[in-house]
Amino acid sequence: MSACRRGVRGVIRLYSIASSAVGDDETSKTVSLCVKRVVEVDGQHANREVGEDKPDKAGTAFPKNKVYRGVCSNHICDLSVGDDVMITGPTGAEMLLPEDPEANIVMLATGTGIAPMRAYCRLLFNDKVGGEGDSRKFKGLAWLFMGVPYSKSLLYDDEHQEYVSKYPDQFRYDYAVSREQKNDAGQKMYIQTKMAEPLGRRGVEDLQQDFQLGQARHMSPSLNARKGSKHEFNQKHSA
């Protein structure tokens, strides 16, 4: 989905929809976004000089600094219930879940890149439309790897923990917190290292025989070589 504010730098910004097709309220009338404010303090660009930055809706302000506040992300984050927003889309990319209900799915996400993965997880493990009696229509294993700088940035953590507890045989959740965790070599923990831990015994090539990789083009070249996967991700494009 894309959104912009009328009259202010009329460039469209893209945002992945973070809700499944039925929406968070399951009425099929709403969409949810997961938007991170761009706020750069004493950086290369500024659209607020020293003294000009006012508290945003979250109450944060940097009046002693020159500040660049991203135009669209701050506009969205400062919206109030009932405000009109001009949106258009879908645009460009689509990434669809496989049709095979027994397919195994690996999801890789960093930061707000969790948005589409969160939408998939809602459908697989939360929404009524994804249910089948007391169980789920989805019969495979979904494995989410999430990368963030700080543990407080783990988005939708409560939902993912709930899926782990309700569907331990069908949902796995690993996260790499780069500024708080270290890998075996004492370096910052990134998502690719986290993936290598449980999978290291088998290797990435083996993994690709069994699992479907999302967002593969954003991963390291070793993870990006997906040829020969048993279940090809239904990736018309990439979100």
* Interface contacts to ligand FAD, rule CB under 6 A: 13-16, 34-36, 38, 40, 45, 68, 70-74, 93, 112, 115
Comparing every residue's Cβ against ligand FAD, the nearest one is 70
CB of residue 117 to ligand FAD, shortest distance in Å: 11
Cα 63 to Cα 54: distance, rounded to the nearest angstrom? 7
Name the residue nearer to ligand FAD (CB basis): 107 or 204: 107
Q: What is the DSSP letter of 42?
A: S
Angle, in degrees to the nearest 10, between helices 114-125 and 157-166: 30
Residue placing its CB nearer to ligand FAD in the complex, 29 or 45: 45
Looking at the Cβ atoms of 117 and 204, the one nearer to ligand FAD is 117
Other C-beta atoms lying within 10 Å of the C-beta of residue 236: 9
Q: How far apart are CA 218 and CA 238, in angstroms?
A: 10
State the DSSP code for 8.
S
Q: Shortest gap between Cβ of 237 and ligand FAD (angstroms)?
A: 10
Closest separation in Å from C-beta 197 to ligand FAD = 27
Q: How many CB atoms lie within 10 A of CB 72?
A: 20
> 119 or 207: whose CB is closer to ligand FAD?
119
